Structure 1
Amino acid sequence: MPSTIPVAFLKKSSLLLLLPLLMGCEDSLDKLYPKAQPVQLPAETTTGANVLGCRLNGDVWEANNTATLTGKVLTPTAHYRNGELRIDAFRRLQVTGPVTNIHFTVAGATRPGVYQLRAAEQKSGSFATLETASGRLQYATNARQTGKLTITRLDTTGAHPVVSGRFELRAAPTQPAVHTTDLPAHVQLTEGRFDIQLSR
């Protein structure tokens, strides 16, 4: 008389056989969609790592530097032409707080050094602007709320042009606004650092 195998045993055996397959799928998904790294200040480098970060009113603010499928990094970007440097950065999705974009314009940036960030209408032509979500408010350096951007490396002619450095500043709203915890009366950036491949 043929022996019969209990149905419960067959179900358990099938699950055990499927377990390695399911675990393999999970590993593949982790490689396809890697877990987001915690928000942190990038290291101070001078290699063109395409990073920008700082502390904004004490909290870490880090630029998104995820590459597209073609390998191009959309942010942060640094453009250099005739001595004018423009740096643009958009925050990572994991960053909290009101500021979504940070922009620097530095005139006369011909060599490493310290460049004062003041109002856009001043002769220096060096300033910073910060935007909030949906353009609700813009902050900027001005005659009273100033800062500085220090360029530690500026390679505009090499095979892989790079600009690197540090920054710190204080910025105020460019128009009157009702200040809330989401829209503070001013923003202060400290421990700022950047290392970006130059576009010319």
Structure 2
Amino acid sequence: MLATLPAAFLKKASLLLLLPLLLSCEDSLDKLYPKAQPVQLPAETKTGANVLGCRLNGDVWEANNTATLTGKVLTPTAHHRNGLLRIDAFRRLQVTGPVTNIHFTVAGATKPGVYQLGAAERKSGGFAMLETASGQLEYATSAHQTGTLTITRLDTTGAHPVVAGRFELRAAPTQPTVPTADLPAHVQLTEGRFDIQLNR
């Protein structure tokens, strides 16, 4: 009986039968490779959400916080030992602009409070360093380009240690350079916030 049906009809019927299978494959691929969420400022939380973001010269900059297959988040990271706090973050692939990495180092960070960001040589307070792609250029806070890092939660002894807070700063190149659209004369970070599980 099938032999008497037109070939065009059989072709359409077989495609209709395959359609549910193809759609289920697409759903499976979406679960395996979910679509990237838009770049946005993370919410201001204090739960160890492993987020860091800000506005960099007005544009949203968000750290990559994708977990590995073992569940470990590679960035952002926060280390705290003997009052020395170091925060490192690497941007998401979807973020545009010159800065790829942001690093904070704060000495004497023993409790919530406002910590000044300035020159790296100071023995108290802290500083920030920002790197561009392939290490082309570094921007840093200094005695003239300053900022603040405000810690709103610092739990170093609990079952799930966390550091959370806000930051804002202005940084300039650490070496002489001719400003371009890709490498501006300075960078300004505003509306910065972070919420990171501490590594001790």
TM-score, with length taken from structure 1: 0.98
Distance 1:4 1:156 in 2: 78
Q: Is the 8 A contact 1:47 1:195 kept in 2?
A: yes
Residue matched to 1:28: 28
SS at match of 1:52: strand
Distance 2:149 2:135 in 1: 24
SS at match of 2:4: coil
SS at match of 2:64: coil
SS at match of 1:28: helix
RMSD: 1.2
Residue matched to 2:17: 17
Residue matched to 2:136: 136
Give the AA of the match of 2:184.
Answer: P
Give CA deviations for 1:146-168 in whole Å, capped at 9, x if unaligned.
Answer: 00000000000000000000000
Distance 1:120 1:142 in 2: 7
TM-fit CA distance, 1:11: 0.3
- Unaligned runs of at least 5 residues, structure 2: none
SS at match of 1:21: helix
TM-fit CA distance, 1:2: 9.5
Q: Does 1:116 align with 2:107?
A: no
Runs of 4+ in 1 over 6 A off after TM superposition: none
TM-score, with length taken from structure 2: 0.98
Distance 1:118 1:4 in 2: 85
Give CA deviations for 1:7-29 in whole Å, capped at 9, x if unaligned.
Answer: 11000000000000000000000
Distance 2:61 2:2 in 1: 70
Relative to structure 1, is the Cα distance of residues 191 and 2 closer, same or farther in structure 2, using a 3 angstrom cutoff?
Answer: closer
Q: Does 1:49 align with 2:49?
A: yes
Distance 1:155 1:183 in 2: 37
TM-fit CA distance, 1:184: 0.1
- Unaligned runs of at least 5 residues, structure 1: none
TM-fit CA distance, 1:123: 2.6
Give the AA of the match of 1:62.
Answer: E
SS at match of 1:8: helix
